[in-house]
């Protein structure tokens, strides 16, 4: 399958109460909202889902995430977080293929020992994800420094500008 773009994202029970669903434009998406409206958490969960970042997925409370891709037919990545006894489990489902990874071990073990124990599932998930989508996004954070404190050197401003410019150049090349 050719890599695709995100068509829609639905997150259920974020922080135990909030449901978020949005349709994506095929080319450019901009998220605007008040502070504390979960914009960053929403983007972090999308990234964590698409990178199989178990640590991030385990640390944020949610029930399920569904990411649908622009493809024909529409391809779906579904992730659910469940609890079995005292263990938190993340289940990835790609249309008809499913994998499970316990999260509690990730929190209590070193990354290396967790990775070796669940290596086959983890690598299968990573392989499926890499076939589907390449992650490219650019975060533009505003600077909330009061104007009376702004005594930045030209070098600092250039370094920030160059970071954003280089990321944009990389995105355009790819």
Q: In Å, how far are 69, 90, 91, 117, 165 from 102, measured between CA atoms?
A: 26, 6, 9, 10, 39
Query: How far from chain centre, in Å, is Cα 143?
Result: 23
* d(C-alpha 125, C-alpha 91), whole Å: 10
* 124, two tokens: 């299968």
- Say if residues 81 and 63 touch (Cβ distance below 8 Å): yes
DSSP H helical ranges for the chain: 39-51, 54-59, 104-108, 111-117, 119-132, 154-173
End-to-end CA distance of the chain: 18
Residue with token string 């569904």: 66
- Say if residue 64 is exposed, middle or buried (CB neighbours under 10 Å; 0-12, 13-18, 19+): middle
* Coil, helix or strand at residue 15: coil
Mean pLDDT, contiguous 10-residue spans, the chain (174 residues): 81 94 88 86 92 90 94 86 84 88 62 64 86 69 45 51 64 70
- Say if residues 70 and 6 touch (Cβ distance below 8 Å): yes
Q: Among 36, 34, 42, 103, which residue's Cα sits nearest to residue 67?
A: 42
Print burial letters for 114-128: b (CB count within 10 Å at least 16), e (below 16). beeebeebbebbeeb
| Domains identified in the chain and CATH numbers | 6-132 (3.40.50)
Strands 64-69 and 87-94: unpaired
pTM of the model as a whole: 0.72
């Amino acid at each position: 399958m050719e890599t695709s773009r995100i068509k829609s994202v639905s997150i259920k029970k974020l922080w135990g109460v909030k449901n978020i669903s949005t349709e994506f434009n095929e080319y450019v998406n901009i998220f605007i909202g008040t502070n504390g409206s979960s914009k960053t958490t929403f983007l972090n969960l999308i990234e964590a889902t698409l990178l199989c970042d178990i640590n991030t997925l385990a640390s944020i409370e949610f029930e399920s995430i569904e990411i649908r891709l622009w493809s024909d037919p529409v391809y779906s990545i579904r992730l659910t977080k469940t609890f079995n006894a005292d263990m938190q489990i993340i289940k990835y489902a790609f249309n008809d293929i499913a994998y499970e990874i316990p999260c509690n071990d990730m929190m209590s073990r070193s990354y290396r020992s967790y990775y070796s124990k669940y290596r086959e599932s983890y690598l299968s998930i990573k392989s499926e994800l890499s076939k589907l989508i390449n992650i490219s996004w650019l975060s533009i954070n505003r600077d909330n420094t009061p104007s009376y404190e702004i005594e930045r050197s030209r070098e600092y401003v250039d370094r920030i500008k160059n970071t954003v410019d280089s990321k944009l150049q990389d995105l355009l090349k790819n």
